[in-house]
């Protein structure tokens, strides 16, 4: 089968999410931009997401944290040190403090969740993964998670276009359980640092969710098929280069998380 046919619009039945149990189709083999395309743009900035969208991308992933004063913001690391002209966790900063800093790479301003959601609010057909970065229990003790999850759930669904897919994801099972309790129809994804295997399938089934995100290096095609037979949608990561993309295609995953979405798009345009 030609690669282009494999990536053609194939309707999946697992995309249930949001209040009222709305259903939309997800493209088979969907390619989405990790942190807005972190190898091609200044990661997790509004400019990165806009640039990817303008170049035709419709799938995105980002990382959600909460400030000292309860504002939801976008940052991958536990600390600002690597990417911003600032130090320490955002969880120890106020929203006002974060509005004064810029990225080290290109001088972009700090991004808040409501700004990203507003950017996509009038753009139909977007797939957006909102990773809940709550694994550090010193920053996110159990007592703080309820507020975090409720705020994220409410603001995301309030601004999600009807025909877009917004997925709440995490390595941390705690916020996934809270989200499930807040909204039985919420679209949830459990991320693992390991391969697709029976253990991660069982964990997802025990949580009552329909998506898993697995490392591709040790994953087999047979394992992906077995997970899909149970009704799970499988996302493959990481996606650092074109070789990773070809691996994802061979594994037959349902979605591909990549740091080079524009390069993949260019390759597909030339070769399909």
Beta bridge partners of 213: 191, 235
Domain count, the chain: 1
Q: Indicate whether 200 belongs to any domain.
A: yes
Angle at which helices 242-251 and 221-229 pack, to 10 degrees?
50
Q: Indicate whether 86 belongs to any domain.
A: no
pLDDT of residue 24: 57
Residue 262 three-state SS: helix
pLDDT of residue 25: 61
Report the half-sphere exposure of 154 (CA within 13 A, side-chain side): 7
Backbone angles phi, psi at 178, to 5 degrees: -65, -45
* Region of residue 67 (phi > 0: left; psi between -120 and 50: alpha; otherwise: beta): beta
Q: Indicate whether 220 belongs to any domain.
A: yes
Residue 110 carries which DSSP code? P
Distance, in Å, from the CA atom of 69 to the CA atom of 264, rounded to the nearest integer, reads 39
Q: Indicate whether 265 belongs to any domain.
A: yes
Q: What is the pLDDT of residues 28-77, one digit of tens each?
A: 899 999 999 999 999 999 999 999 999 999 999 999 999 999 999 999 99
Q: Indicate whether 234 belongs to any domain.
A: yes
Q: Indicate whether 67 belongs to any domain.
A: no
Q: Indicate whether 126 belongs to any domain.
A: yes
CATH number for position 190: 3.20.20.190
| Paired tokens of 110 | 């700090």
At residue 189's C-alpha, the angle toward residues 109 and 138, to 5°, is: 60
**Stated pTM of the model:** 0.91
Q: Indicate whether 105 belongs to any domain.
A: no
The domain in which residue 256 lies consists of 3-60+113-271
What DSSP string runs through 248-269?
A: HHHHT-SEEEES-HHHHHHHHH
Which is higher by pLDDT, 247 or 21?
247
Distance, in Å, from the CA atom of 58 to the CA atom of 66, rounded to the nearest integer, reads 26
Q: What is the pLDDT of residues 206-243, one digit of tens each?
A: 999 999 999 999 999 999 999 999 999 999 999 999 99
Question: Which of 155, 40, 129, 114 lies closest to 76, judged by CA?
Answer: 129
């Amino acid at each position: 089968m030609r690669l282009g046919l494999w990536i053609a619009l194939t309707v999946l039945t697992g995309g249930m999410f949001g209040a009222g149990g709305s259903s939309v189709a997800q493209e088979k083999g969907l390619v989405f931009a990790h942190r807005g395309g972190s190898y091609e743009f200044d990661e997790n900035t509004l400019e990165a997401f806009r640039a990817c969208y303008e170049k035709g991308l419709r799938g995105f992933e980002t990382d959600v944290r909460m400030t000292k004063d309860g504002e939801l913001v976008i940052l991958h690391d536990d600390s600002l040190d690597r990417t911003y002209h600032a130090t320490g966790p955002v969880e120890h900063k106020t929203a006002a403090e974060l509005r004064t800093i810029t990225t080290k790479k290109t001088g972009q301003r700090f991004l808040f969740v409501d700004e990203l959601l507003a950017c996509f609010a009038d753009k139909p057909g977007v797939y957006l993964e909102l990773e809940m970065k709550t694994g550090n229990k010193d920053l996110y003790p159990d007592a703080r998670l309820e507020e975090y999850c409720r705020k994220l759930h409410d603001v995301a669904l309030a601004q999600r276009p009807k025909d877009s897919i917004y997925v709440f994801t995490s390595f941390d099972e705690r916020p996934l359980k809270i989200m499930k309790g807040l909204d039985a129809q919420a679209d949830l994804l459990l991320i693992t640092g390991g391969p697709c295997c029976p253990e991660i399938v069982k964990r997802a089934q025990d949580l009552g969710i329909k998506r898993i995100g697995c490392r591709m290096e040790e994953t087999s095609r047979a394992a992906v098929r077995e997970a899909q037979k149970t009704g799970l949608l499988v996302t493959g990561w990481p996606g650092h280069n074109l070789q990773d993309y070809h691996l994802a295609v061979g594994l037959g995953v349902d979605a591909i998380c990549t740091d080079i979405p524009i390069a993949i798009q260019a390759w597909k345009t030339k070769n399909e």
